[in-house]
Amino acid sequence: MSTAGTIAINQSEIIYAPGTSDAEIEAAAIAASRRHRLLVLAWRLGILAALLSLWEGAARSGVIDAFFYSYPTAIAARLCELIVEGTDEASLWYHLWLTMEEAIIGFFTGSALGIVCGVALGRNKLAADIFAPYIKTLNAIPRVVLAPIFILLLGFGLWSKVALAFVMVFFVVFSNAFQGVREADRAMIANAQILGAKPWAVTTAVIIPSAMSWIFASLHISFSFAIVGAIVGEFVGARYGIGFLIQEARGVHDTAAMYAAIVLIVIVVLTAEWVMTRIENRLARWRPPPTQGH
Amino acid sequence: MSDTPAIELINVSRRFLSPDGHAFSTLKDFSLTVRRGEFVALVGPTGCGKSTTLNLITGLGHPSSGQVKVFGKPVSGIDPRIGFTFQADALFPWRNVIDNVVAGPLFRGRAKAEAYDKARDWLARVGLAKFERHYPHQLSGGMKKRVALAQTFINNPEILLMDEPFSALDVQTRVLMHEELLRLWSETGAAVVFVTHDLEEAIGLADTVYVLTTRPATIKSVHRIDIPRPRIISEVRYDETFIAISRRIWADLKEEVEAGTLAAA
């Protein structure tokens, strides 16, 4: 998550000659941090180029089987082709949008209900004790085994995948919200009560804000879980979507298309991650900046 | 009416259950009376049950036996006339300074504009008018305590409970905060119960100092502090009376601290 721009440089071992002005020291520090950023960027690009050319070279020279492993230029070409021509069923954008729609609906409903249930049970010890074994049991079900059941219940369309994305997200957000509520500072709660807060005001003014960092931590991973739910649902039974596209490409041994679909999903998840970090940073302006270790 | 004491604890005991199921007492036959406008300090060995006393007065904790009265009425729930300053940092870190100070009036259903005007007034009184928009993490320890004081005083408490509020501050800041507290207190005339393990702090601030025994806490001795007000904390500690009182109380306290250390060992 941290970008090269935020990494602090340890200046302590630099000893300046007596009489060096503050401006000179500042300029030197800025130059040093700039050099560091460029160095990191150069290494990153270098490693990427090395890996891609190694893959390309190995596939073309026959060290690895290009039929199974494909290679970067073939994948890029296939991706362009998919973007321009789509598949027999629909355009690439329609497949992508459908998968996104399933994941997004599942993500929002799952996290909303997860937060509500987590906060409610976190605030109510009796209910939490009563429901604990049920929640543990439900949580023990590997989510993907539900895919065929949801398809049976809800059909091949949108809603069976939404349901799967929902259950993928719900438990993660629920348990983090629950834990976040439990960890809320006792002194802070007592302070609010003595200042005059009624139970509902304690929940909205103290409990939820202090559980927010826990909740956000779960939302970060939850979006990729929602995508997993949508795609697995599509593997099991669908007519459109990225999961369907991968499944179909496998049927005709079109490995380049399979990798192209993966690249597409990775881009989507990284974008979602970036958006979420932006939102979190906006909401968490009150938080002290993280201390930098060396 | 006005001669009913602000706080009465009558033969109060408080038992807790330890995690392994054993009952233990933190307070035993504890009696304490605080007059209106009186500044009381409780000193005692660490962990002797000083904070428990405060919890009983707020209504956040209940006595196992005995009676706790606030303005002549048994405590049931949190009394709106009570203000509390915590040892730990209990400000809401996600709210800026003014939103922290305004919390009390808004929780109590005051109009927004009125509440913010009042909050600005209190921030000015604690010298933080320029820091309205800062978040707690951007403030020093002393400034945070000033915000906490403004947050408490804005509700016009008639009883002020303070649980080692300045123990985390450095010595110089602590003295400044003592003077700040005495100034604010003298303007309100609230009854104060100030819990501390710092003897000089207790003597410098209070009208009456109660020395507590080690657990289960009872009152070992009561000392009236006849140092005239207004007091200047930074100078009062060199006063003859101060030193004499200090010596006398320390003799009492020392026995209990030693007893506590022996019991722990």
Q: What is each CA distance from A62 to A18, A57, A67, A280, in whole angstroms?
A: 63, 8, 10, 47
- Quick one: A170 and A229 in the same domain? yes
- Quick one: A148 and A260 in the same domain? yes
ipTM at complex level: 0.89
pLDDT at B168: 86
List residues bridging with B194 in a β-sheet.
B41, B162
**Six-digit token string for A173:** 């957000």
Mean pLDDT of the B99-127 span: 94
- Quick one: A89 and A74 in the same domain? yes
CATH number for position A188: 1.10.3720.10
- Quick one: A55 and A76 in the same domain? no
In a domain, A288, yes or no: no
Confidence of residue B252 (pLDDT cuts 50, 70, 90): confident
- Quick one: A212 and A238 in the same domain? yes
List chain A residues with CB under 8 Å of B135: 285-286
Q: Is A252 helix (H, G, I), strand (E, B) or coil?
A: coil
Residues A286, B78: C-beta atoms closer than 8 Å: no
List chain B residues with CB under 8 Å of A192: 92, 103, 107
Query: Using H for helix, E for strand and C for coil, what is the string for A75-130?
Result: HHHHHHHHHHHCCCCCCHHHHHHHHHHHHHHHHHHHHHHHHHHHHHHHHCHHHHHH
Chain A residue with Cα closest to B137: A288
Q: Mutating which of B92, B97, B163 best tests the A interface, going by the most A Cβ atoms within 10 A?
A: B92
- Quick one: A80 and A158 in the same domain? yes
- Quick one: A214 and A76 in the same domain? yes
Domain boundary among A38, A64, A90: A64
List the domain range (segments joined by +) for residue A215.
70-283
Residues B104, A195: C-beta atoms closer than 8 Å: yes
In a domain, A79, yes or no: yes
Chain A residue with Cα closest to B159: A194
List chain B residues with CB under 8 Å of A202: none
- The minimum CA-CA distance between A271 and chain B, rounded to whole Å, is 27
pLDDT at A2: 40
User: Residue B57: which of B3, B6, B108 has the closest Cα?
Assistant: B6
Q: Is B95 helix (H, G, I), strand (E, B) or coil?
A: coil
pLDDT at B234: 83
Exposure class string for A239-270: b at 16+ Cβ within 10 A, else e = ebbbbbbbbbbeeeebbbbbbbbeebbeebbe
pLDDT at A291: 59
Residues B86, A185: C-beta atoms closer than 8 Å: no
Q: Where are the beta strands (DSSP E) in B92-171?
A: 159-163
**pLDDT tens-place string over residues B168-223:** 889 889 999 999 999 999 988 899 999 998 888 999 999 999 998 887 888 888 99
In a domain, A35, yes or no: yes
Least confidently predicted of A185-189, B248-252, B260-264: B260-264
The answer to whether A173 and A218 are in contact (CB under 8 A) is yes
List chain A residues with CB under 8 Å of B95: 286
Average pLDDT along chain A, 294 residues, taken 10 residues at a time: 44 68 86 94 97 95 90 94 88 94 97 96 93 93 93 93 96 94 92 94 93 90 94 92 93 92 93 91 78 49
pLDDT at B2: 63
Q: Which of B84, B96, B135 sits opposite A191 (nearest CB)?
A: B84
- Quick one: A172 and A214 in the same domain? yes
Residues B151, A209: C-beta atoms closer than 8 Å: no
List chain A residues with CB under 8 Å of B100: none
Q: How far apart are CA B121 and CA B160, in angstroms?
A: 20
Q: Mutating which of A183, A186, A188, A194 best tests the B interface, going by the most B Cβ atoms within 10 A?
A: A194
In a domain, A289, yes or no: no
- Quick one: A275 and A259 in the same domain? yes
Confidence of residue B258 (pLDDT cuts 50, 70, 90): confident
Total structural domains within chain A: 2
Q: Which of B86, B94, B108 sits opposite A191 (nearest CB)?
A: B86
pLDDT at B38: 94
- The minimum CA-CA distance between A219 and chain B, rounded to whole Å, is 19
Longest Cα–Cα distance in chain A: 79
- Quick one: A149 and A30 in the same domain? no
Residues B90, A193: C-beta atoms closer than 8 Å: no
pTM, rounded to two decimals: 0.82
pLDDT at B265: 55
pLDDT at A3: 41
pLDDT at A266: 94
In a domain, A1, yes or no: no
CA quadruple B217, B220, B226, B232: dihedral, nearest 10: -40
**pLDDT tens-place string over residues B38-92:** 999 999 887 777 888 898 999 888 888 899 999 989 988 899 999 999 988 889 9
Chain B residue with Cα closest to A206: B92
List chain A residues with CB under 8 Å of B96: 286
In a domain, A10, yes or no: yes
User: What count of residues does chain A have?
Assistant: 294
pLDDT at A7: 47
Residues B137, A288: C-beta atoms closer than 8 Å: yes
**pLDDT tens-place string over residues A55-74:** 999 999 989 998 889 999 99
- The minimum CA-CA distance between B149 and chain A, rounded to whole Å, is 12
Q: Which residues of A touch B (CB under 8 A)?
A: 185, 187-188, 190-198, 201, 205-206, 209-210, 212, 284-288
pLDDT at A293: 44
Q: Is B175 helix (H, G, I), strand (E, B) or coil?
A: helix
